[in-house]
């Protein structure tokens, strides 16, 4: 097995730091932030818009990738 290079070590380090720090950040913010129905509605609308853009975007991508 080859030893990991600098990029591999950096990714592993960042992942481990995020994994160790994330529970504290989520636990601290959970008690302070109430659920906002406007934010939830916007998240659903934005997700729907992304889904509606996906099909035409893929069609245009694959249509341009093939030769006629």
Same domain, 28 and 40: no
Q: Give pTM, 2 decimals.
A: 0.45
| pLDDT number for residue 65 | 83
Who's near 4: CB < 8 A, 6+ residues apart?
12
Same domain, 1 and 11: yes
| pLDDT number for residue 28 | 59
CA pair distance 20, 14, nearest whole angstrom: 10
Q: How many domains does the chain have?
A: 2
Q: Which domain holds residue 64?
A: 35-68
pLDDT digits (tens, 9 = 90+) for 47-63: 999 999 998 888 888 88
pLDDT digits (tens, 9 = 90+) for 1-51: 455 566 677 777 776 766 676 666 666 555 667 889 999 999 999 999 999
């Amino acid at each position: 097995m080859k030893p990991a290079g600098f990029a591999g070590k950096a990714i592993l380090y960042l992942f481990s730091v995020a994994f160790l720090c994330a529970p504290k950040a989520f636990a601290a913010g959970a008690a302070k932030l109430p659920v906002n129905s406007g934010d939830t509605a916007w998240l659903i609308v934005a997700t729907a818009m992304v889904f509606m853009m996906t099909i035409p975007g893929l069609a245009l991508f694959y249509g341009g990738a093939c030769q006629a």
